[in-house]
Amino acid sequence: MAKAMARHILVKTEAEATALKKRIATGEAFDVLARKHSTCPSGKKGGDLGEVRPGQMVRAIDQVIFNKPVREVHGPVKSQFGYHLVQVFYRE
């Protein structure tokens, strides 16, 4: 069965997610921004979701984790919880 390791930042608005993505692109650390801004409990761990399998996350996030290129920051991705930035470390 497939599995992947990912992290994410969850915020309320698309504008906030877009602004954070720009900050990451200019060199700010994903984990530091996750600790400061993410509304998900995983924010305390720098956004680390640990190892996940297909179907464990909401569909929109699942699609990113198991289909998009690894090591890039993807998003904003909208879910019922808000807007996510997602980065996949590895997938097997």
Residue-wise pLDDT tens for the chain (92 aa)? 899 999 999 999 999 999 999 999 999 999 999 999 999 999 999 999 999 999 999 999 999 999 999 999 999 999 999 999 999 999 99
CB atoms under 10 Å from CB of 44, counted, come to 11
pTM of the model: 0.95
- The C-alpha atoms of residue 10 and residue 41 are separated, in whole angstroms, by 9
- The C-alpha atoms of residue 32 and residue 61 are separated, in whole angstroms, by 21
Domains assigned to the chain = 4-91 (3.10.50.40)
SS3 assignment, position 45: helix
SS3 assignment, position 63: helix
Phi/psi of residue 71, nearest 5 degrees: 75, -5
